[in-house]
């Protein structure tokens, strides 16, 4: 049988290293140029992706705040109640074991109760209990004894203040524990224009600390408009 020689490169056409003559690999300079271009593209695209992600997180948190705000206004308009919930659990009739995250815990317990007309916390995937507290005597959210917080897109509890609770001591602070475990001492935000509490027409403030986990910075997501 004769062996086929089709598609074979004649020996004379091969270089000493066995590679067909005329074929060559990439030089080091060419590889470095490609890597430089890829690095430049990554440097340009990455901030854009992070910004888009952050804007999406802000939009989700802002929508959640507006949903809670609507439920608060419905509660205040109810002639049987006529007010928004207080900032402290004790003032709402609960028996808290600590004074951490109380404002948002009050909202989850009251607005998310089984007999509440509208539950803004139906997405219970955002319910957390960062300080691990429970009421020993009374049911809280949906027949649980835990004092849940409602977390923003960055995993930190929303802040809630009933402004009337701070009228006698405007500089009073309450304690909030965030996802990292740090405990912040915070109070209602003041308007940069008037110096009085922002959102005073609502009678309350709902605030997300945003990605920087600091109160009063430009990336906060808040329940009122204006500054």
Task: Give the residue carrying structure tokens 């608060």.
Answer: 72
- Give the model's pLDDT for residue 127: 95
- The pTM for the full model equals 0.78
Task: Give the residue carrying structure tokens 């066995």.
Answer: 18
87-125 residue pLDDT tens: 999 999 999 999 999 999 999 999 998 888 889 998 889
Domains of the chain, by residue range, sit at 28-222
Three-state DSSP state, 161:
strand
Report d(CA 210, CA 214) in Å as an integer: 7
Cβ count near 109 (within 10 Å): 26
Q: For the chain, what's the residue count?
A: 227
Q: What is the layout of strands, in order, in the sheet containing 221-222?
A: 159-162, 204-208, 221-222
Cβ count near 139 (within 10 Å): 14
80-93 residue pLDDT tens: 889 999 999 999 99
10 vs 177, higher pLDDT: 177
1-28 residue pLDDT tens: 455 445 555 555 555 555 555 556 778 8
């Amino acid at each position: 049988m004769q062996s086929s020689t089709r598609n074979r490169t004649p020996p004379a056409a091969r270089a000493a290293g066995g590679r067909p003559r005329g074929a060559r690999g990439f030089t080091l300079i060419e590889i470095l140029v490609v890597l430089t271009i890829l690095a430049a593209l990554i440097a340009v695209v990455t901030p854009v992706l992070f910004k888009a992600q952050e804007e999406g997180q802000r939009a989700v948190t802002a929508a959640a705040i507006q949903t809670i705000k609507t439920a608060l206004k419905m509660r205040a308009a109810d002639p049987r109640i006529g007010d928004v919930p207080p900032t402290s659990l004790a003032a709402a009739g609960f028996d808290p074991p600590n004074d951490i995250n109380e404002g948002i815990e009050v909202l989850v317990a009251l607005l998310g109760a089984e007999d509440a007309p509208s539950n803004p916390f139906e997405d219970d995937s955002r319910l957390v209990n960062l300080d691990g507290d429970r009421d020993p005597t009374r049911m809280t959210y949906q027949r649980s004894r835990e004092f849940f917080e409602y977390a923003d897109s960055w995993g930190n509890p929303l802040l809630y203040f009933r402004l009337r609770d701070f009228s006698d001591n405007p500089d009073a602070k309450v304690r909030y524990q965030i996802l990292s475990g740090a405990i912040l001492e915070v109070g209602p935000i003041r308007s940069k224009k008037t110096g009085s509490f922002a959102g005073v027409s609502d009678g309350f403030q709902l605030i997300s600390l945003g990605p920087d986990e600091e109160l009063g910075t430009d990336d906060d997501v808040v329940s009122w408009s204006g500054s």
